[in-house]
Structure 1
Amino acid sequence: MAGLAAMLSACGGGGGTPTGQVVATVDGQEITANELRMELGGAKAPNPGAQKELERRALQSIVNRKLLAKAAADQKLDQAPEFAMQKAKADELVAISALERKLAAAVPQPSKQEAERYVSDHPDSFAQRKLFVVDQVVAPGVPQAVLREMQPLKTLDQVENLLTQRGVPHQRAVGAIDGATSDPEMVKKISALPAGEVFVVPNQGGVLINQVREARTDPFTGDRAVAVAQQMLRQRKTAEMVRSQMQQIAAQGASTVKYNADYGPPAGAPGTAGAPKGGAAPAATK
């Protein structure tokens, strides 16, 4: 019995103070070091003291989440029909995320020769690397109709006046666009714009309306340029291959889907080619 008690203590169990790989317990439920690492998501602080504080905050976030989840369960909120549907959706999204990571991990690293060719083909990003300082209007969300109204405008003041008139939230800022880390086609287009031309760049669901304040050339060459090119190529290849394989998986599974006649699939959905209108038949035919 003494040996068993010692083993429980080493694992952080036994109801005492957590030790080893158990960083805390909440009403007897263990929180492990692996769980804490996942919560941190790879975040790093500049020094050990700051890192420990980061870990404490992340751990407290886990603790609070578990306490609140327990309170919801104690009130039997997890027994409501909508809870089961939301949990199923969350489980599906986690599974999809795991699938995306697996597919992404299988994408090969571009060769040095590919990267060197990429550097050569995109001089505005490397040999003649462009750096732009831009005045910006940052708008989290702009309706399509307002974007169309924006097209003939020539200055940021005009853009701001339009957004104010249409009640679209926005703010002014100063930003920078680095040719080495931006989409090469976008950099090429910006370089070709007439002086003072206003241009729009998508930004996390919103838009940045920009006007170049200053532009200069700062060559980016050598091994560092090739390494950056390899990283950019891998990111692009990964996005393309993951999207393609996810679409292929959806298309392959479409033959198992049957729709209510009132809820047919949208045009262009996987497996809908040749399906009768109304969606009464399966999404794909054999």
Structure 2
Amino acid sequence: MVPFRISSVRFIPTLLVVACVLAAASLQSQDSGPSKHDRIVPDQVQPKPFPTTAIRQTPLYTVEFRSADQLTPQDRLVLADAESSIAEHARFNGFEYQQSNWTYRQIVCPAFPNHLFVQYTRNNGAGDLTIFSASVPRNGEGRVRIVPILKRGYSLFSPAPINALTISAFNHIRHEEGETANSDWLGNALCYAALAGSRPEILPNDAEPALHKPIPALTAAMDVELQTHGTEVLRFDDAAARPHPMEWTMTFTYQGKLVKATHKPAPMLAVNPAPQTSAVARTWQVPQSGQN
């Protein structure tokens, strides 16, 4: 058998060609991919559920309360159709709704155009005040919901602003409303406070002070925390609250769910105008585990 041989003269140039190809490939790989010493800058995460650049839908810095005779004909029909359901939910929550001395007023929240909000009150004198709010979907997509506030002068379960039932009802309302609910962060905060029994007022910084009116230029801010899921914290001071101004704080997840709501006496040390745009007071990136 004749042994198979490769000429060394031909083999050496072949090795040189292969070596050059491998070297070029190595350099290309180093150029295209980061080394272990390179710091990867993550893509900027857009705040949600409330965009930070959106212009508010309405120049009003407060929700509006309308008496029963100020309801539009369309809203009267919506309320009449929901009356039996409201009565059923009210009785389920322990309210003596069958009695006749109830009055109501509409809570107008521009951030929730697909819902009719009504606050019912029964006043039997000092220390005997009963209040609850009702949410009725205007487009039929959703159901009637009740927010208990006071029963004969006492808070049910826990104060309505921090009550888990209030938070749950508000999340359902936002879900029923759809993307429209995310258009106005301050409108969401004010509407939540109104449904929980407050009558919040925030005035622009050019408002004229008047007797029995809140001082102008109250604080309102949205803080954004960017992390894996992210949160947005809405804060505002309500000077119309009695007997003293109150500071409201609401925390939303990236998916738009309200997870926490608090209110406490406001220090009112700083006076800042409520912004026309969704200004971010503080924005920061939270480092992940193992990162510097």
TM-score range, shorter chain: under 0.3
Write 1 or 2 for the structure with the bigger share of strand. Answer: 2
> Which entry has the higher C-alpha Rg, 1 or 2?
2
Q: TM-score, normalised by structure 1?
A: 0.18
Write 1 or 2 for the structure with the bigger share of helix. Answer: 1
